[in-house]
Amino acid sequence: MSINEMKLGIVGLGKMGGNLSLQAIEKNISVVGKVRNGKPELENQGVKLVTDYDSFFSFLGNPRVIYLSLPAGHTVDEVIGDLLPYLNQGDVILDGGNSFYLDSIEREKRLYKKGIYFLDCGTSGGIDGARHGACFMVGGRDQGVRIAEPFLKKLAINSDGFVHTGAPGSGHFVKLVHNGIEFGMLQAIGEGVSLLLEKNDFNLNLEEIFHNWSNGSVIRGWLVELMEKGLKETNFSEIQSYIEDTGEVNWLIQDAINKEIPIPVISASIMSLFRSRIKDIITYKAIALMRHEFGGHPFGKNEDIIKERSTSRITKI
């Protein structure tokens, strides 16, 4: 497939899908997005936007490659149901959201019987990664991965930002473990901020400390850098410590319980997170700040996220 022939369909043009579409345009991948309402900020930069699936599919070449950037749960199945009448054998659907891996396995089985490849595509790197180069963990059959691989390698941060993890479901499983590790790291950094700011006789400059830690320290890394960036941009004292999340890491904990695999740090990070919804605590102000920086997550209680969490599971563990 030549560069000029690369055409990608995206359903779900929110923060992640929208940024991914802009990155694709810059890398000579033609993009068509299915929307309900106009998004001039995308259309003005070269993304073709349509409101119906006839126009959506007429734009794409063969085999069609379609990336879903949707909340986990019933929305994914509803959109797949809408796509099915238009799909041909050999077409590829990538679920780039945080779907539960057992749900992805079942979806892949159903679609493969119809000759359609379904790939569970764990996508990391946050909003900035979607815009400038993401990290993809992809599960699925080899034939389907070979079709989608040229697109994902161009949209990845570098050649190592793409990995075919193996069988269907493995991509979303790896991403789920990734998210559990992320929660544990966020908790540790947040607790460190509490230690720096509370009950000591030092007048510490938090921004300077995190800048220092970003330069050669053992704990240097993107989350530490985002903490420094967030402190420059946000009045830390005004951040709400109330943290909403869509509950995916809860699935990981339940899965570990069923498999009798001990994950005390990840489990404790989730249990501790619930405290943010009861009492204003510095630890959770720091976590909220980092989550906002990498994912655009809102500060404080958010009814849309509560609704998303309540409808995000299909398969019962």
Distances (CA, A) of 54 to 60, 101, 117, 124: 10, 30, 20, 31
The residue type at 29: I
Which of 154, 175, 229, 285 is flagged as catalytic?
175
| 182 noted as active-site residue | yes
- Rounded to whole angstroms, how far apart are CA atoms 312 and 38? 26
The answer to whether 171 and 118 have CB atoms below 8 angstroms apart is: no
Of 35, 251, 116, the residue nearest 95 (C-alpha): 116
Axis-axis angle for helices 101-112, 170-197 (nearest 10): 160
Of 86, 65, 62, 61, the residue nearest 11 (C-alpha): 65
Strands (E), 5-98: 7-11, 30-34, 48-50, 65-68, 92-95
Which of 34, 108, 182, 293 is flagged as catalytic?
182
Tokens of 47: 């993304």
| 238 noted as active-site residue | no
The answer to whether 43 and 65 have CB atoms below 8 angstroms apart is: no
Residues acting as catalytic residues: 175, 182
